[in-house]
Structure 1
Amino acid sequence: MKTKAVVLGANYYIGLSIMRCLGVHGIPTVAIDYSKKGTYGFYSKYCSEFLVGPNCKKDPEGLLDFLVEYGKKQEHKPVLFPSADGYVEFMDKYLPILSKYYLVTQTEKGLYTKVMDKGELHSLAKKHGVLVPETVHIDEENFKEKVEEIIKFPCLVKPTDSPAFVSKFRRKLFKVYNIKELEEAIEKATSANLEVIVQRIIPGFDDHMYTFDAYLNQDAKVTHWITCQKYRQFPVNFGASVYTGQKYVPELYDIGGKFLEDIGYKGFAEIEFKKDATTGKYYLIEINTRTTNLNSLLFKAGINMPYIAYRELTGKPLEPYAITYDTNLVFWYAYEDLFAIRDYLKTGQLKLMDIIRSFNKPKAYAIWDWKDPKPAFAFLGNKFGSLFRKMFKFNR
């Protein structure tokens, strides 16, 4: 019997893409989520088994017990995949216990959480000679003067703990234009017991955002990698990829690969960089420690990250490989891209003809798959149902 893969989270397309990447190789995939409602990943033909368990944020101990009990019943240790930041933090916290019953890529407890924390990440990056945006901490002496002299307005008020901030404010950061707005943003965050830093905005439009996506083996060596360039994101300017193309940028391997190896990283990582429009230098913005939003693009381009991890952890590692040319492929999350396009046009950042021309590329879709259509129909059903309920409530 083949070793199972357990995917934590199936109510978003990242978990769905993990199941597809493994299911095409005949690997039994088990999807676990805290609710069946709206969880369209459960409808995938590649989902061998789905389970409803405790919420990792509301009841982490309950989820731990749930996973331990499931793991005990398996003939072989399943490979455990987190599909969201909350699951990464959960796995990091309980790594010593989970490792007894599951195969996981990272062996150093706390490392994933450390690189997810903006303050910790910036310290690590500086230590290893990697550029990061100029930053001021709000507890520094002469804090406001430093913001005005070093950071300058407009600037960003960013959380050190992104998942908690996004959960609270439904956005990744605050963009502020003066001292008054800065004070208000800090007050909002501190009132919610969230730590924030103030950061310079690196000049350049959204297409100056790049990613270095890599897999590092159990010796903390890069074995597989690919680079991409964002075209559009949502929310615009400071959001997640909704239209992103594969683009070969060897400098990102030179910077990102060395950094990840130097800190002893294992498993999948996606480093987001921004290229300074003035100097051409690349600045490290953040690291995603779970499977990326762009996973369907990586797969279509020829690098199946979940399968690479599965093969290594089950003792049959794949040969190293990198995409060192331009494939012209793009990732497209059509639903959120519609909102992004609306906002780009409204703010005059893009012209309609430029957007129309951009669609003339082969695509890797976030949700849609001809061979596995049910999740897309379930997703659309959820959205239409939500819209209908809002309209019905409004008309009443």
Structure 2
Amino acid sequence: MSVLVTDASGNHALAVVRSLGRRRIRVVAADTTRFAQGACSRFCAGRAVYPSPENGVRGFQEGLIRIIETCRPEILMPMTERTILALGPARREIESRVGLAPLPSPDALRVAFDKQATIGLAASLGIAVPRTVVLQDPSDLAVLGARLSYPAVIKPRRSERLTADGRVTPGGPPEYCFGREGLQAAYLSVHRRAPLPLIQEFIPGEGYGISALYDRGRLKALFAHRRLRMIRPTGSGSSLRESVSAPPDMVEAARALLEALHWHGVAMVEFKRDARDGRPRLMEINGRFWNSLPLAVASGVDFPFLLYTLAREGRCPERFGYRLGVRARWLGGDARHLMEVLRGRPAGWTDSYPSRLRTVLDFLKPAGKDLHYDDLWLSDPVPFFAGLAGAVLRRLPGRVAPRRVPDLQGAPDA
């Protein structure tokens, strides 16, 4: 029994390594560096390095194939849009060498990875979405500006995109615009790195995630969480979240979307409960493992093992019950949340914003009832410090990178 996990720097990959490794399943963690946090876990049996898809998908594919040939895993689990997109044309070639963890069809992934396509599908199903505009030409901004409500959110259509020259590039974070005078600068900031982004109304309210595992269109597992703290208080991934009873209206909408796509594998559908009218509004579909995955595992829905079982046996048990009120904290993300709050409320921000004192006091609370940590485990501490070191190195002038060293598995550090 062996699994190759990509993108080992991510919290979700670390959760997969720990989940499977604790069950004595041999896990090889791969990334663009040997010092990814998942590769440093005591539950990881080996590590491997592949070229970054940002430098070219063909190099990534060739490096991944060499790792597969050397390590001989039974199952490959790609963790992010980046590696799923980079598999692209080589998907069949790779599947001839290793079992691929359940993934949706390319058409379903295209819709899930494209926020404009996702919103179009949701609207056709009667699911509430934020008011959204997509320009055909940036010159239309002058006319549009007077018709928008503010604040507005300018976000890339895709978190990652495959360029014409065969590279996968990140879309980057969204920008916020608080009035007509700032619209052009905010829009062009995103447009330069992710052409023709979406312009959406800002939705005030709490964020929720409905996580699911599907077996060829059949729901096998379900989990729901509520965001308690976000890395950026204006909107981003969460640093603290809590398991909750799945809201029926959100479950209905999430199921309608995923079943319309005949989903196969894992997904997390994000919503915000609109504070103005109480309706859930769709934000996006994460068509792969999500960053807050450790909470689901801690609450009793072990998505990594369920997906592994589905990949290996062609079926898996259903899992719909879980413990409520469980909290999971990403300490690294919470430190970033603290820094964001200490910088102060962004100019023009009209929604609620955390107080500095309350945030400092909350950050200093090391424990609480049923509180788990995504990254820092006393029984497996090294990944946290590896992640911390990586974050520091990325912020040094010149972005100092760790020196490549021969891989423990014998796979090339391509």
TM range (shorter): 0.7 to 0.9
Residues 70-110 of structure 1 deviation map (CA, whole Å, 9 limit, x = unaligned) = 445676x6222122321122234532322222323125124
SS of residue paired to 1:273 = strand
Q: Which has the higher contact order (CA 8 A, sep 6+)?
A: 2
2:337 to 340, 345, 353: 340
How far off its partner does 1:143 sit? 5.8
CA contact (8 A) 2:209 2:224 kept: yes
Residues 169-191 of structure 1 deviation map (CA, whole Å, 9 limit, x = unaligned) = 8x520101222321122223333
Residues 353-374 of structure 1 deviation map (CA, whole Å, 9 limit, x = unaligned) = 4875795332221211232222
User: 2: distance between equivalents of 1:323 and 1:355?
Assistant: 35
> Which residue of 1 is the match for residue 378 of structure 2?
370
Alpha-carbon distance change, 298 to 66 in structure 1, aligned in 2, over 3 angstroms: same
Q: CA RMSD in A?
A: 2.9
Q: Which runs of 5+ in 2 are unaligned?
A: 163-167, 346-351, 401-414
CA contact (8 A) 2:269 2:284 kept: yes
SS of residue paired to 2:106 = coil
Amino acid at match of 1:296: P
User: 2: distance between equivalents of 1:144 and 1:290?
Assistant: 37
1:181-330 pair list within 5 angstroms: 181-192=182-193, 194-204=195-205, 208-217=206-215, 219-251=216-248, 252-315=250-313, 317-323=315-321, 327-330=324-327
> Which residue of 2 is the match for residue 64 of structure 1?
61
Q: Which runs of 5+ in 1 are unaligned?
A: none
How far off its partner does 1:258 sit? 2.5
User: 1: distance between equivalents of 2:130 and 2:303?
Assistant: 29
Amino acid at match of 1:311: T
CA contact (8 A) 2:220 2:319 kept: yes
CA contact (8 A) 1:88 1:112 kept: no
Q: How many residues align?
A: 379
CA contact (8 A) 2:15 2:293 kept: yes
User: 1: distance between equivalents of 2:57 and 2:252?
Assistant: 38
User: 2: distance between equivalents of 1:168 and 1:74?
Assistant: 29
Amino acid at match of 1:379: G
2:387 to 375, 379, 390: 379
1:98 to 76, 94, 98: 94
> Which residue of 2 is the match for residue 81 of structure 1?
77
Which deviates the most, 223-232 or 98-107? Answer: 98-107
> Which residue of 1 is the match for residue 29 of structure 2?
31
> Which residue of 2 is the match for residue 46 of structure 1?
43
Which deviates the most, 19-28 or 179-188? Answer: 179-188
Q: Are positions 1:350 and 2:354 aligned together?
A: yes
Q: TM-score, normalised by structure 1?
A: 0.86
Q: TM-score, normalised by structure 2?
A: 0.83
Residues 6-53 of structure 1 deviation map (CA, whole Å, 9 limit, x = unaligned) = 1111223222111111111111111111222x4232211111121112
How far off its partner does 1:228 sit? 0.4
User: 2: distance between equivalents of 1:383 and 1:182?
Assistant: 32
1:1-40 pair list within 5 angstroms: 2=1, 4-36=2-34, 38-40=35-37
